[in-house]
Amino acid sequence: MARKTTAERRRQVSQIVLGIIAEQGIEGVSMEAVARAAGIVPSALYRHYAGKDEMILAALNSFIDELETRMRALGPRPAAEVLAGMLAVQAEIMPLQLAIPQILFSPASKDQRELHRQAVKNLQDRILGGIAEVVQRGQAEGQFSPDIDPLAAAHLFMGLLVIVTLRWYVVGAAYDAAAMKKEGWRILELALGSAKSRSGAGRKGRRRKE
């Protein structure tokens, strides 16, 4: 009943997986649960995916696709604003972010582990690269110090996201993730702009932080 083409099925399943992760966390994702939600039987999923992990990775990639278009919609705002925007968006992403280590350390067959690593690397590349790009633009526009390695700055930024997510997961409701992101970002912004504020502050007259 309700046979679907592979493309359709994968689209549907990605939505289901993202939904389960958002509601119950990554632990809720089992082949049985996903198949049931899709109205098929677990083994049928293997016509469309190489395995569980590829299924989850596909869902994450489709999510990042969506995220990138949303990010692009922020358009040509100042780099610092874009980064702050990422921090804000991240609140809703935290459960999904947790899926990445899950995949990375799932007890998969040794044959597939290399594939997972490669897939997670691609995810990281996309995120890290996107952040570094924004930093670079900030430098080009004179907002950030030019003598900072954009990739290293992206590491710090992404590290903040990851740590806050891990802490939120572990500490629970008592953890004020938003406040920690805000203060962490304030410190990081200090560094990004610091060397530049030292050099000649010629013509940038925007709002200045005290």
Binding site for its own copies (CB under 8 A): 26-27, 98, 101-102, 104-105, 107, 113, 117, 120-121, 124, 128, 146-149, 151-153, 155-156, 158-164, 166-167, 169-172, 180, 183-184, 186-188, 190-192, 194-195, 197-199, 201, 208-209
Length of the chain: 210
Q: Does 4 bind DNA (CB under 7 A)?
A: yes
Q: Residue 124's binding partner, choosing from DNA, its own copies, none, with beta-carbon cut-off 5 to 8 A by kind?
A: its own copies
* Eight-class DSSP state of 48: T
CB of 111 to DNA, least distance (A): 9
* Eight-class DSSP state of 194: H
45 or 131, CB closer to DNA? Answer: 45
Scan for tokens 């200090």, then name that residue.
190
Burial zone of 149 (CB within 10 Å; 0-12 exposed, 13-18 middle, 19+ buried): exposed
The SS3 assignment for 204 reads coil
Gap between the Cα atoms of 182 and 197, Å rounded: 21
Interface residue list for DNA (CB under 7 A): 1-6, 9, 30-32, 35, 39-44, 46-48, 51-53, 107-109, 112
